[in-house]
Chain A
């Protein structure tokens, strides 16, 4: 089954404790991206990756890091989480960059993160 898998789905942590949210896709997609969803703010892009070793900032990259060492994986790293990073996070992938052909993103089910 084609899917984007995120882990963990739920996490409560404390300020400053490094954490990683993993994302894996089994569709051989080149493009992967991270979004956060907050009430009243919709979905905002954090980082994206066009392919292995190619990453770039989205609209809200502060406090986050990413890496793309393998095509299927795109982990989101919070080196020193703060309460304002409490949010619902979505990983997504697509065969082509958005804006070309269908531009259809496939999303994971989300990871709800709470930073105390």
Chain B
């Protein structure tokens, strides 16, 4: 059973507009979430994280929102740029030891010029 779900395999937006990538999780005990970005032929790179004691974390054009009651988080990119085109994964430590990092299946974002 998927513990972290990214239900949109792909998303296409126009340059300058907002990109919103969504992620749902199943376990209310999860308390830390990360977003990774992956370009083709490269390894994933860390983008931004959020702890469950917060409902928002911002880093430049990237903001992650956490809605604990809905078990939902979202990544907002404003304004979107063509260089943001990549696969985005949400992830959370899972398992009792927090030593396993479970990833969603990813969302391919395409930003059109």
Contact = CB atoms under 8 A, between A and B. Distances in A.
| Chains A and B are bound partners | yes
Interface of A: 4, 31, 33, 35, 40-45, 48, 50, 56, 58-59, 90, 92, 97-100, 102-110
Interface string B78-113: 000000000001010100011111111110000000
B100 A105 contact: no
Contacts, number: 74
A83 to B, nearest CB: 22
B70 interface: no
A42 B32 contact: no
B87 to A, nearest CB: 9
Interface of B: 6, 9, 31-32, 34, 36, 41-46, 49, 89, 91, 93, 97-106
In the A-B complex, the 5 residue pairs with the closest CB atoms? A107-B43, A99-B93, A99-B98, A42-B105, A43-B103
Nearest to A107: B43
A4 B43 CA distance: 10
A98 B41 contact: no
Contact of A110 (B32, B42, B46, B93): B42
B49 A102 contact: yes
B22 to A, nearest CB: 15
A35 B105 CA distance: 13
A98 B42 contact: no
Contacts of A103: 32, 34, 49, 93, 101
A107 B45 contact: yes
Contacts of B43: 4, 90, 92, 107-110
A58 B100 contact: yes
A41 B52 CA distance: 26
Given A42-B104, A43-B89, A44-B103, A90 B44 contact: yes
27 contacts: A42-B6, A43-B44, A43-B103, A48-B99, A58-B100, A59-B100, A59-B102, A92-B43, A97-B97, A97-B99, A98-B98, A98-B99, A98-B101, A99-B31, A99-B32, A99-B99, A102-B49, A103-B49, A103-B101, A104-B49, A105-B36, A105-B44, A105-B46, A107-B44, A109-B41, A109-B42, A110-B42
